[in-house]
Structure 1
């Protein structure tokens, strides 16, 4: 690393946009900068759906449902704040399609018994947005449907449902080689679960559904099930079969008519072949987008016109999908290089498959300069919508400030401290400890106190 590079590991030292631009040039990165914030005001038309601007809130799992999977006051509070923030696309967090498929006992789960609570949530989002920006403003809402696979938990304990053994990931969370592989029959049954959840999402008023296939969850894991036997493993056709079959069935279902079909999709796992997707088969961790591109083209043929692209596995190497410089471990690579990987890879997909509208990620770490990076991505055609995940819970009004004031405020932005991720990993429930301290500091502190008590009990036993 050149001594003239502004940033160093563990610190964010950019004082102005010129400092950031200098580093991008010195490092010869693919990150683009633009001050043309008018680009964010452009509407995006997908089939019968109009997304009113080019800013999105990305899914951030809050783990704040009740035991039956229904939204609670914390859930309603979070999405009301997001709705009043002005983003044109509100992409809700992971909602399980089965009880056993939940990532923890507080994950949202849509059922025949509680879909009206989700309708209340969607109605609140739409009503709040109109109250802030007028009757003509109608953000689109996407509900993310998921099965957590190897990261399932039940009654506070791990309950992994794995599509294939991956030693490097098994060892990380203590899955033995004797742990059973999920059967083809179970995977067959999942198709109807996704269809049922999509029907309920439509009844609840959501504009679209996301068939989630990222971050090592069940559908994501199947994409790299090279060593699995049966109809869902081995060949590319088999590994992508379940995801494509789910989308086909939803598209055919009359009760799902006019839903905006989308997916949050990994294009690179950062796990060596044969355990990783989008990774070179010749060894190492080089990116190989041949299969992800092939899948995205097939998704487009089936009517999926909106894809939020991501990378990595937050349970294994979290900085790949959430670049940060403060946390449980400090990544070996410069954070700006992690951001560049995301922005470059997503740009390659958007340019090579223009028939799909790609939502970009990798912006939150840039703090108050993120809007310049996002505008640069739009200007250079690296994505069609700029999405923010962590930023949306730290700074829910980011879109309003960009669109109305031409800036993101430094005293509001996410500082990439990783406390939200720490909470998600340890207790399921998470929010912004720094910017929403009144609500989440007590939850965070209670988590820490329990860790101390558990440690002291262990020492005394």
Structure 2
């Protein structure tokens, strides 16, 4: 439930002095967040379709916006993933990679093509080599490459170039899409299937263990899931709205060149905008969660071979605290931050318990800072997820997994502080990283961005 601003305001900076204070808050608010100090749960291996993930920790995709003009990784990309690989996570889930030029979120988003797949192979090889150098020949993290079309959030030459499947009033207004803006045709959507297949084939050639058919955060495949008002074969009924993602998955699953790929999806289960603009939202109550259709879709995807799903919610361009709880900056959430975390952990747990045949990657942990591993361990112990994933944490604190697994701690002076400057950079200039923990590289970029804003406003 989204609480009104009159009910709660953000509780300010993270202020739990010790784990007992956090426990007291959880009990006081009667939340479903679980805590455990049994950190051995993170050492459990996960086997999915013959792929062995060496521990139960994952880095979630965080789009860096640091490619060259052709979509290839640059030194910043290689640097980021080398650090992550040396951090010890068993599952490394790479950021969004576009399947086509017009589908990029900005001109610096990664984009895999026939001309540059060897650059992606170099990236994957670097990840595998770096992990082995750090932890021994027997340690090999699994790599998932996230395939995406940015839909209404596409940009070309720095300017918005929305490709929308349906009008959504609140989202249209937020980025200035008029009522008569044309919808993408069924023919265009039909042709995307081949582009996803080609991107998956190239990912396999580049050595990645799996592909993620991304359907979250308001991007194109996510938007189609709630295309209730769209005419034609991709709108209206549940079968029509889920047809495109199911067809893509089925085609990749049965494609000979994609054989052996671990199929996965980063999937929204709740958009947090009212029906008919939102997916996973009650049709009768105001923005209440309704998981009937998301569960139905996950079961269908599982039947077609998708046995690994990273659950998420919301839309970072519109209501960022839903999927990325944070407590600093000008944006003030409509609720206490811990409620946002609780929603993510609780509803992911509902999916995992309802569909145990799928390995679900849990989210909502980074905000807990130096106590995040206790929250993650609690989720694993209670069966609320199969793998604990960290997004922002992975760019702020790339070796969090090593510290959890080897030292039983997350260090206060290394954790993400939930300032969301990384997201601010992503939204405004495309390129992003951790301004606080990786300040040598990213603080100058941030300062230049802020200076440009001042100059523009003067």
Match of 1:418 in 2: 420
Q: Which has the higher contact order (CA 8 A, sep 6+)?
A: 2
Match of 1:60 in 2: 62
Tell me, yes or no, if structure 1 residue 237 matches structure 2 residue 250.
Answer: no
Deviations 1:52-108 (A, max 9, x none): 000000000000000000000000000000000000000000000000000000000
Match of 2:191 in 1: 189
Determine if contact 2:33/2:375 at 8 Å carries over to the other structure.
yes
Deviations 1:241-277 (A, max 9, x none): 0000000000111000000000000000000000000
Cα pair distance change 1:8/1:14, threshold 3 Å: farther
SS at 1:195 equivalent: helix
1:144-159 maps to which residues of 2 (within 5 A)?
A: 144-159=146-161
Q: Of residues 115, 135, 138 in structure 2, which corresponds to 1:136?
A: 138
Match of 2:206 in 1: 204
Match of 1:4 in 2: none
TM-score normalised by length of structure 1: 0.97
Deviation at 1:332, TM superposition (A): 2.4
Match of 1:381 in 2: 383
Deviation at 1:336, TM superposition (A): 0.4
Match of 2:326 in 1: 324
SS at 1:300 equivalent: helix
Tell me, yes or no, if structure 1 residue 304 matches structure 2 residue 291.
Answer: no
Gapped runs of 5+ residues in structure 1?
A: 2-6, 457-461
Deviation at 1:8, TM superposition (A): 6.5
Match of 1:70 in 2: 72
Worse overlay, 321-330 or 207-216? 321-330
Tell me, yes or no, if structure 1 residue 86 matches structure 2 residue 88.
Answer: yes
Aligned mates of 1:453, 1:170 — CA distance in 2: 28
Determine if contact 1:10/1:330 at 8 Å carries over to the other structure.
no
Tell me, yes or no, if structure 1 residue 452 matches structure 2 residue 454.
Answer: yes
Q: Of residues 111, 114, 126 in structure 1, which corresponds to 2:113?
A: 111
Deviations 1:388-422 (A, max 9, x none): 00000000000000000000000000000010000
Aligned mates of 2:49, 2:450 — CA distance in 1: 48
Deviation at 1:18, TM superposition (A): 0.7
Aligned mates of 2:285, 2:363 — CA distance in 1: 27
Aligned mates of 1:12, 1:454 — CA distance in 2: 33
Count of aligned pairs between the two proteins: 451
Match of 1:360 in 2: 362
Match of 1:216 in 2: 218
Deviation at 1:380, TM superposition (A): 0.1
Deviations 1:303-361 (A, max 9, x none): 00000000000000000000010123111200000000000000000000000000000
Tell me, yes or no, if structure 1 residue 13 matches structure 2 residue 21.
Answer: no
SS at 1:318 equivalent: coil
- Superposed structure 1 runs of 4+ greater than 2 Å apart: none
Aligned mates of 2:54, 2:449 — CA distance in 1: 39
Q: Of residues 389, 395, 398 in structure 1, which corresponds to 2:400?
A: 398
Deviations 1:173-220 (A, max 9, x none): 000111100000000000000000000000000000000000000000
Aligned mates of 1:299, 1:10 — CA distance in 2: 40
Determine if contact 2:10/2:327 at 8 Å carries over to the other structure.
no
Aligned mates of 1:222, 1:47 — CA distance in 2: 28
TM-score normalised by length of structure 2: 0.98
Determine if contact 2:10/2:333 at 8 Å carries over to the other structure.
no
Across the aligned residues of Structure 1 and Structure 2, the Cα RMSD in angstroms comes to 0.9
Q: Of residues 70, 85, 102 in structure 1, which corresponds to 2:104?
A: 102
1:337-352 maps to which residues of 2 (within 5 A)?
A: 337-352=339-354
Aligned mates of 2:278, 2:49 — CA distance in 1: 33
Determine if contact 2:82/2:130 at 8 Å carries over to the other structure.
yes
Match of 2:371 in 1: 369
Determine if contact 1:122/1:205 at 8 Å carries over to the other structure.
yes
Match of 1:336 in 2: 338
Aligned mates of 1:47, 1:96 — CA distance in 2: 26
SS at 1:359 equivalent: strand
